[in-house]
Copies of this chain bind each other. A is one copy, B any other.
Amino acid sequence: MKASDKLNEEIERECPVAGKLLSVLGRRVVFPPGIPEQAGQAKGKRFNATIGQILADDGHAAILPAMGALARGLPEEARDAAYLYSPVQGLEALRRAWRERQRREIDPSLPSSLPLVTVGLTHALSLLADLFAGEERAVAVPSPFWGNYRQIFAVRTGAQMLTSAAYRDGRFNPLAIAAALEALPAGKPAIALVNVPSNPGGYSPMDGERQELIASLRAIAEERPLLVVCDDAYAGLVYVEGVESRSLFWDLIGAHPNLLPVKVDGATKELSFFGGRVGFLTFPFAPGSIAAEALESKVKCLVRATVGSPVGASQSVVLQALRDGGVDGQIAELRDSLAERHRVLEQALADVDPALLRALPSNSGCFTLLELPDELGLDAEETRLDLLEHFDTGLVAIPPRFLRVAFCSVAAADIPELVHRIEQSLRARRGGE
Contacts and interface: CB of A to CB of B under 8 A. Distances in A.
A165 to B, nearest CB: 20
Contacts of A45: 388, 392-394
Contacts of A43: 394
A41 B366 CA distance: 20
Interface in A311-338: 311-318, 320-321, 324, 326-327, 330-331, 334, 337-338
Interface of A: 25, 28-29, 32, 34-35, 38-39, 41-43, 45-55, 57-59, 61-74, 78, 81-86, 119-123, 126, 130, 147-148, 150-152, 155-156, 199, 269, 271-277, 301-302, 304-318, 320-321, 324, 326-327, 330-331, 334, 337-338, 366-367, 384, 388, 391-397, 405-414, 417-418, 421
A311 B308 contact: no
**Copies, count:** 2
A394 B38 contact: yes
25 contacts: A32-B150, A34-B147, A38-B384, A38-B396, A47-B414, A52-B408, A54-B338, A55-B410, A57-B413, A65-B330, A66-B330, A69-B73, A69-B316, A70-B70, A70-B313, A83-B276, A120-B307, A123-B307, A148-B304, A151-B305, A273-B313, A277-B309, A277-B313, A311-B311, A311-B314
A57 B409 contact: no
Contacts of A120: 307-309
Contacts of A49: 393-395, 405-407, 409-410, 418
B392 A46 contact: yes
A330 B307 CA distance: 27
A388 B331 CA distance: 46
Given A271-B67, A313-B313, A304 B122 contact: yes
Contacts of A311: 119, 275-277, 311, 313-314
